[in-house]
């Protein structure tokens, strides 16, 4: 297991710390968030490859969080819960969790579950749709072609990956950080720090994409990608 980015949503600080340390010693990157609100936000960011979710959280119900998360992201989730009964387990799986881990657990056991979930998930990877259509824009992942209003659009590798991410998550505002992390994840590259106030490469790429779209379909093209000032970018069909 190398360079897996894990989000741990857990309010018990000591437990979280211990767990994180163990996982880090096995070459994982762990981010700890102690509350549900921000947990959901971080989990949906697309910057992690796995979410460990404690059910007993202050403020928000873990199951509800999981259901909401599932509407916004496909990231695998393992639920951690002190209530180890079967009912909880079934309910957990029903709201979209991928596995269920009763507390207390040994770190080793958790690691085994994590590996199993990641393996299953990557095995099922290939069946995501390999094309998306949003408004006049069609993107084919297998052929790596993008057409807008029927006109084909020349894109470089990085530009294509970015447009793919925006299109598969249309109507959703993505920060530069998210875009950067997701492109790296898409390519199977390890995560990297990224400071959007210094590194403007995402902006430049998006500028180029807009130019390419506009060249293929003057007027319509560039307008599809909107800038959300202070936040990031969003692809919106109706321009």
Partner DNA sequence: ATCCGCCTTTACGGGGCCTTCACGCCCCAG
Partner DNA sequence: CTGGGGCGTGAAGGCCCCGTAAAGGCGGAT
Helix (H, G, I), strand (E, B) or coil at 139: strand
Residue 38 binds which entry of a copy of itself, DNA, none, CB below 5-8 Å type-dependent: none
Neighbour tally for 35: CB within 10 Å:
14
Say if CB 28 and CB 50 are below 8 A apart. Answer: no
Asked if residue 219 binds DNA (CB under 7 A), the reply is no
Q: Does 229 bind DNA (CB under 7 A)?
A: yes
Helix (H) or strand (E) holding 161: helix 157-168
Q: Which residue from 86, 17, 79 is spatially nearest to 43, judged by alpha carbons?
A: 79
Q: How far is CA 31 from CA 7, 42, 63, 120, 178, in A?
A: 5, 9, 20, 23, 15
What is the per-residue binding string for a copy of itself in 39-78, x denoting contact by CB under 8 A?
A: -------------------------------x--------
Sole binder of DNA in the list 130, 187, 200, 237 (CB under 7 A):
200
Residue 204 found at the interface with DNA (CB under 7 A): yes
Binding residue for DNA, selected from 211, 218, 237, 239, defined by CB under 7 A: 211
With the C-alpha atoms ordered 144, 149, 155, 161, is the resulting torsion angle positive or negative?
A: negative
- Between 37 and 130, whose beta carbon lies closer to a copy of itself? 130
The token pair at 57 is 């959280």
**120 forms part of the interface with a copy of itself (CB under 8 A):** yes
Close Cβ partners of 219 (under 8 Å, ≥ 6 residues apart): none
Q: Which of 33, 49, 80, 113 binds a copy of itself (CB under 8 A)?
A: 113
Task: From 20, 67, 70, 16, select the one nearest 44 (Cα to Cα).
Answer: 70
For DNA, the binding residues in 159-198 under the rule CB under 7 A are 159, 196-198
Question: What part of residues 140-159 is at the interface with DNA (CB under 7 A)?
Answer: 156-159
Footprint of a copy of itself on this chain (CB under 8 A)? 18, 70, 89-90, 93-94, 96-98, 104-109, 112-113, 115-116, 119-121, 123-124, 126-127, 142-144, 156-158, 171-173, 228-231, 234
Footprint of DNA on this chain (CB under 7 A)? 156-159, 196-201, 203-208, 210-211, 227-232
């Amino acid at each position: 297991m190398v360079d897996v980015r894990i989000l741990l949503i857990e309010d018990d600080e000591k437990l979280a710390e211990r767990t994180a340390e163990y996982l880090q010693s096995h070459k994982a990157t762990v981010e700890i968030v102690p509350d549900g609100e921000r947990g959901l936000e971080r989990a949906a960011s697309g910057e992690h490859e796995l979410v460990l979710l404690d059910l007993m959280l202050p403020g928000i119900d873990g199951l509800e969080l999981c259901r909401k998360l599932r509407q916004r992201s496909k990231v695998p989730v393992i639920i951690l819960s002190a209530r180890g009964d079967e009912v909880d387990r079934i309910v957990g799986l029903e709201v979209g969790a991928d596995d269920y881990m009763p507390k207390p657990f040994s770190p080793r056991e958790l690691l085994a579950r994590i590996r199993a979930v990641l393996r299953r998930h990557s095995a099922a990877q290939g069946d995501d749709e390999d094309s998306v259509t949003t408004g006049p824009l069609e993107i084919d992942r297998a052929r790596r072609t993008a057409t807008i209003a029927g006109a084909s659009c020349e894109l470089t590798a990085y530009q294509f990956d970015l447009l793919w991410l925006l299109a598969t998550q249309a109507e959703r505002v993505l920060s530069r950080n998210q875009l950067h992390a997701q492109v790296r994840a898409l390519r199977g590259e390890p995560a990297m720090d990224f400071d959007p106030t210094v590194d403007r490469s995402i902006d430049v790429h998006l500028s180029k994409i807009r130019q390419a779209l506009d060249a293929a379909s003057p007027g319509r093209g560039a307008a599809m990608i909107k800038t959300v000032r202070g936040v990031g970018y969003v692809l919106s069909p109706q321009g």
